[in-house]
Each structure stands twice: as C-alpha cells, then as structure tokens.
Structure 1
Amino acid sequence: MNGTQQKLTWLVTGSSNGIGLALVRYILNTGDNVIATSRNPSKTPELVKEVESHLNGRWITLDISWPQDKITRTIEEADILFEGGINAIVNNATFAIAGAIEDIPEEDAKAEFDINVWGTLRVCKAILPLMRQRGRGTIVQISSLLGLVVFPALGIYSASKFALEAISEAISQETSSFGIRTLIVNLGSFRTNFLAPDAMPVHEPSEPYKAPHAVAVSLQNEHNKHGKQPGDPEKAVKIIHDAVSGRDPSLTKVLRLPLGEDCWGATMARVDQMRNDIDGCKEAACSTNHST
C-alpha cells in the first residue's frame, strides 16, 4: 500500500459529521471504496443516501461502545463488502467532556475513556487478525493536539488521548512486522462541530475554578473558538488520504502526523519544555545507580 496508487477500501468510524464525514466524502471522490459508520444511521438518512448513491460507498451501523464480540462480527461483515477487504480503518469516533478535573464525576470520566480508549481498542482488536492474515493494512488513529499537550479544563479528554497514543505506539511496535502500519493523526483546531454546545458537555466551574481561574478562562476560550477554528477539514482529510495511500511519499513512514499550525506550534513548545526539564535533571537522574 505504501508508495502505491492502488484502490483502497476504508472503514471510518464516526462518519456522520466533522472530520469523519469530510474524510468519507473525500475518499468517495478519489475512487477508493469507503464504508462509513455511525451509531444510528437512521438519524442521518440524507447522508446514508449520499454515500450509498456511489458504487464505492456503503454505510453500516457501528457503535464502538458495543461489546467486543459484536464489534468483531460487524467488522468481519464489513470486510467482505468490497473485494480484497479493508485496507485502512480510521478510528475517528470520539467523545469529549470539559471541566476541571475536580468537577468531572467519575462516571463521566469513565464514559469518555470507554469511547476514546476502550472503544477504539475494540475496533483495533477486531481488524488486526484480518489485516495480519493478509499481511497488510493501516490503522489510522484520529488523536488530537490534546494527546500531546494538556490545557486546563480539558484534562480528562487529554488523558484519554494520551492513553490512545500509548496504545497506538504499542500496536505499531507489535504489528509492523506483519505488514500493518499505524498512523496517529494529531488534529489541532479544525472548523467542525466539535466545539458546538450540544457536542461537548461542559461541567461549569465550581467556585474555586471560576474566573479568573485558568479553568474558566480555558472554557471561555474554547466557547469563543467555535466556528472560528483556523483549520480547514478539507485540507486535513486530503493529507490523511495522501499519507495512507502513498500519494505523498514523505508521509508514508511517519508514526505521528500533526495537522494544524496550532498543533505543530504547541507540540514543539511542549517538546522544548520537556527537553529543558529532562536536561536540568540529568545529574540527579544519573546519580541514582548503585555505586558498585
């Protein structure tokens, strides 16, 4: 797959809006096959009709909160929809809750991890045997700037994405010898509905975290950003497709693909901060070995 122009078959979770929908539409236009998925396709009949009006498009029901056996059966059924099976699976479905760590109830934090971590892992565990048998395939993990950098009021979401980053690195190390590639896409702020009031539940700050505390300021910044995000989804999905299809050879070997100027800048600042911390601790770190 890398470095070639062959026709691919993609499966995209969370296809009913945002980056997922933009990617599905772009894939259709390239001529590749695409299997769009959502929890409840009956809520978006016009999108299902749009995708399935193309010979290279299908739409299926897939809820990544389902038990592993049901997800595995669904992926196996999807794998035979197009000849040759699924070449690339895009784990795009996500769930975000905002608020101070202290203010977010444990059950809400667990729900976020169930989708962003365990749900994504269930999909990976379903597709890996199929890709391993064929000796090829790409797993695309849609992560975030917040999988690399932490901001106030977004800590639980970051924690789930940090966990996804670690799992994805491990999958890459464990499956590359089978011909399976893992690509982690770190998205910055793109102009989708991700920050819409009905898309991201917010736990309003308790008294200690109200303005001018950083939590309240961060929440207000995210609210103000909606509809003004600098990133263009259409440009992002083209790059993702190019990185997987091999149309951009410079991106066929990378593990992480940061997209968005804000993502690149904040990540570089994080790297510099970590380097300064680690460099400053060298003497202490190296002094802890046994003397003999």
Structure 2
Amino acid sequence: MASEVDLVDENSIKQAVSAGIEKFGSINVLVNNAGFGMIGGIEEVTNEEARQSFDVNVFGILNTTRILLPHFRKNGTGHIFNISSVFGLISGPGWGIYCGAKFALEGISEALAQEVKDFGINTTIIEPGYVRTNFLEGDSIQTPATPVGVYDTIQEEKRKHLEDISGNQLGDPQKIAEAIIELSKKENAPMRVLLGSDALQLANYKVQMLTEGFEANKEMTLSTDFAS
C-alpha cells in the first residue's frame, strides 16, 4: 500500500494514517525520511527558500509524529525513526540551512525520546554519512536562485557535491535499510545511531572540537557564576 502525503498538510497526513490503520489494523513504525538538501550560503538563501527547507525537513516531521503518537500511546508500543544526518551534528560552509534543519531535528528527537519512553515508544535518530542515493540529483538537492559569487568556498562546495561526490558516496542504502529494520526489532533501541565510516569520522571530529573548545575557555566559563 502506498499513499501520497503532503507533509505540510495535516489533513493529508491524517487521511494516510487512517487508511494505513484501516488496511493493516495498526501502525507500529514511523520512518521520517522525507526531506531535501540545500547547498547555499546564509546570505544567498532567501527567506522563502529557507522556510521551504524547514517546512519539509522539520515541520513535516513534527506533523507526522504528532498525528501518529496517540495511536502509538493507545497501543503501548511504537518506534519512531527520524532520519537525520551526521550533518545534524556538524556543519560547514554552504550547508547552514540544511544542517540547521537537521540540528533542529536532533533537538526535537532528543526531547521526544524522553517524553514518550514511558509509553513503550522508542525514538531513534539515524545519522548517516554520505549515502549513494539520488539525494544529490534533481529535485532532491537545491541551490539558491540568487547566488552571491564572492563566496568561492561555497561555490566549490556546490560543484564538488553535484559533480564529484554524487554517485561516489560510501554509504550503501540497502545496508542502511537493513540496519533500520534490525533496530526496529529491539525492545530498547538506542536513541541515536551513526551509519557509515565517514559519519563516525566527522562525529569524532566534532567531539574533539567541542572538547578542545570547552577546555580552552574553561577559565572564562567558570568565572561567570556568582561568587560563593
């Protein structure tokens, strides 16, 4: 069974959920995988383009989750998979809007996991690296309609991803799907899972940057408390 859903239209989602429950009797797993990429500098991306990104990558996921949670709570079971990215942990030039949406998804998911755990509902954030899909092709990736040419680094990011990386990603989508299926069978699934050696490398780099930054500024950090 397949239903076409408009993620920014709650009625569209409700109709699809109702049809699924009617067809199968119950829904046990929600995989929030819909989304698209945006490569563009903060100055380049218009308000409308940024809002479109967040509408799908953040608010669409909130809509599907909010609508399915009563069904999960009633059944005392369910598993929500929010497909984030390692770029929900680390950002770079040209990826501010996309990573900003994924950072938002990570924060929402962390809170959600704690809110629904007592109802028997698992929440897992999937953080892949680069996956060999059509994500860097066609409508799955967007660039700003009004680029600002002075940002050489950003223009190179666009070229590199659209020409060099597309089709050469490390991640195997079949193996990622199998990993998600395996996680869906766990009674106590982890809250977040990195998938891909590149994801692990980038995540460890972020941890190192955070740790070094915390230590470098520790004296100032501790200086802002009221004196005891």
1:76 aligns with 2:18: yes
Aligned to 1:287: 223
Task: Decide whether the 8 Å contact of 1:168 with 1:182 is kept in 2.
Answer: yes
Alignment partner of 2:5 out of 50, 62, 73: 62
Task: Decide whether the 8 Å contact of 2:36 with 2:142 is kept in 1.
Answer: no
Q: Secondary structure of 1:170's partner?
A: helix
1:127 aligns with 2:63: no
Output the CA distance in 2 between the equivalents of 1:94 and 1:162: 14
Alignment partner of 2:181 out of 235, 241, 244: 241
Normalized per residue, the structure richer in helix is 2
1:111 aligns with 2:52: yes
Aligned to 1:54: none
1:257 aligns with 2:180: no
Q: CA deviation at 1:234?
A: 0.8
- Give the paired residue count: 226
Q: 1:202 to 1:152 in 2, by over 3 A?
A: same
Q: CA deviation at 1:69?
A: 3.8
The TM-score normalised by the length of structure 1 is 0.74
1:140 aligns with 2:77: no
Aligned to 1:19: none
Paired residues for 1:1-292 under 5 Å: 58-66=1-9, 68-83=10-25, 85-203=26-144, 205-209=147-151, 213-223=152-162, 224-246=164-186, 252-292=188-228
Q: Which amino acid is the alignment partner of residue 156 of structure 2?
A: V
Q: Which amino acid is the alignment partner of residue 87 of structure 2?
A: L
Post-superposition CA distance 1:199-242 (Å, at most 9, x none): 31212741321xxx321221122121111111111111111111
Output the CA distance in 2 between the equivalents of 1:229 and 1:191: 5
Output the CA distance in 1 between the equivalents of 2:11 and 2:169: 38
Task: Decide whether the 8 Å contact of 2:30 with 2:80 is kept in 1.
Answer: yes
Give runs of ≥4 in structure 1 deviating > 6 Å. none
**Structure 2, unaligned runs of 5 or more:** none
**Structure 1, unaligned runs of 5 or more:** 1-57
Task: Decide whether the 8 Å contact of 2:36 with 2:141 is kept in 1.
Answer: yes
Q: CA deviation at 1:74?
A: 2.6
Task: Decide whether the 8 Å contact of 2:73 with 2:121 is kept in 1.
Answer: yes
Task: Decide whether the 8 Å contact of 1:151 with 1:218 is kept in 2.
Answer: no
The TM-score normalised by the length of structure 2 is 0.94
Q: CA deviation at 1:65?
A: 1.7
Output the CA distance in 1 between the equivalents of 2:11 and 2:153: 43
Output the CA distance in 2 between the equivalents of 1:219 and 1:105: 17
Q: Secondary structure of 1:62's partner?
A: coil
Output the CA distance in 2 between the equivalents of 1:82 and 1:89: 14
Task: Decide whether the 8 Å contact of 1:183 with 1:256 is kept in 2.
Answer: yes
